[in-house]
Structure 1
Amino acid sequence: MSRSAASFFILALLSGILHLSLTQHLVVTLPLIACGLFTALFVLALIAGRKIKFDPVLR
């Protein structure tokens, strides 16, 4: 896992925990929105870090 993916994962966890500690109801808060954003960036960083190589010659 790259450094950017790890940092986005930690930020998503922290913002999710902050949302859960602030409210007990099903309400959309800024930490919840940030958690969704950091989770999406985490997934993108994981995809970008895979370094998929395409081999056009089928053997």
Structure 2
Amino acid sequence: MSKSALSFLVLAIMAVIIDLLLPVHAHTLSIAANTAAGVFASLFVVALFLGRRIKFDPVLR
């Protein structure tokens, strides 16, 4: 896992934890935290795909 993927994963988990710790009447902040968690989770998946190292062996036998 790349460093960027790990950081996006940590940010997504932190956004979910913040959403769970918010008071019930803080709807606007809850929506913002949920949106941030979704964005960071999406970026985590993208970073996982981009971080894969595809090894290509050009030697033809």
Q: TM class, shorter-chain normalised?
A: 0.7 to 0.9
For structure 1, the residue ranges without an aligned partner over 5 or more in a row are none
Instruction: Say if 2:7 is the partner of 1:15.
Output: no
Q: Of the candidates 42, 48, 51, which is equivalent to residue 49 of structure 1?
A: 51
Report the aligned-residue RMSD: 2.4
Query: If the length of structure 1 is used for normalisation, what is the TM-score?
Result: 0.76
Q: How many residues align?
A: 55
Q: Of the candidates 26, 34, 37, which is equivalent to residue 36 of structure 2?
A: 34
CA distance in 2, matches of 1:19, 1:53: 40
Query: If the length of structure 2 is used for normalisation, what is the TM-score?
Result: 0.74
For structure 2, the residue ranges without an aligned partner over 5 or more in a row are none
More helix by share: 2
Q: Which runs of 4+ in 1 moved over 4 A?
A: none
CA distance in 1, matches of 2:45, 2:24: 27
Calculate percent identity across the aligned residue pairs. Answer: 48
Instruction: Return the offset for 1:5.
Output: 0.3
